[in-house]
């Protein structure tokens, strides 16, 4: 018997393949013992760090991944942080989870 349950909508964020953008820059807040704001990673999105942030803060993985921006798109992402955008929403949710 099927039920008509609706899932809560998740923020739609662009997934970044490691091979497509090998260097990414973290533009989220610093999280003690896990990640420092404004850090560049040479081998794409660091999956272990994403996993640790997701588990520690109980935020959706796509939200955390959205804060790792390809170097080529860094200036655009910084501009978006100053406006109401998907990346701003992700940033604010991580900050809110840190302040709980």
CB-CB contact of 13 with 88 (8 Å): no
The token pair at 58 is 């109980």
Q: Which residues pair with 70 in a beta bridge?
A: 24
On whether residue 39 sits in a domain, the answer given is yes
CB-CB contact of 77 with 86 (8 Å): no
Domain limits at 44?
24-98
On whether residue 71 sits in a domain, the answer given is yes
- Rounded Cα–Cα distance for residues 53 and 78 (Å): 21
pTM above 0.95, yes or no: no
On whether residue 68 sits in a domain, the answer given is yes
Q: Report how far apart, in Å, the C-alpha atoms of 93 and of each of 42, 51, 57, 87, 98 are.
A: 26, 16, 9, 10, 9
On whether residue 9 sits in a domain, the answer given is no
On whether residue 55 sits in a domain, the answer given is yes
On whether residue 36 sits in a domain, the answer given is yes
pLDDT tens by residue, the chain, 100 residues: 444 444 444 444 444 444 465 899 999 999 999 999 999 999 999 999 999 999 999 999 999 999 999 999 999 999 999 999 999 999 999 999 999 8
> What domain count does the chain have?
1
């Amino acid at each position: 018997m099927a039920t008509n349950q609706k899932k809560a909508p998740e923020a739609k964020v662009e997934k970044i393949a490691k091979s497509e953008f090998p260097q990414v820059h973290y533009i989220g807040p610093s999280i003690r013992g896990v990640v420092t704001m404004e850090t560049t990673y040479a081998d794409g999105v660091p999956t272990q760090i994403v996993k640790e942030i997701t588990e520690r803060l109980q935020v959706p993985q796509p939200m955390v991944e959205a804060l790792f921006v390809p170097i080529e798109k860094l200036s655009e992402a910084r501009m978006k942080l100053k406006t109401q955008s998907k990346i701003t929403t992700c940033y604010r949710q991580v900050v809110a989870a840190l302040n709980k």
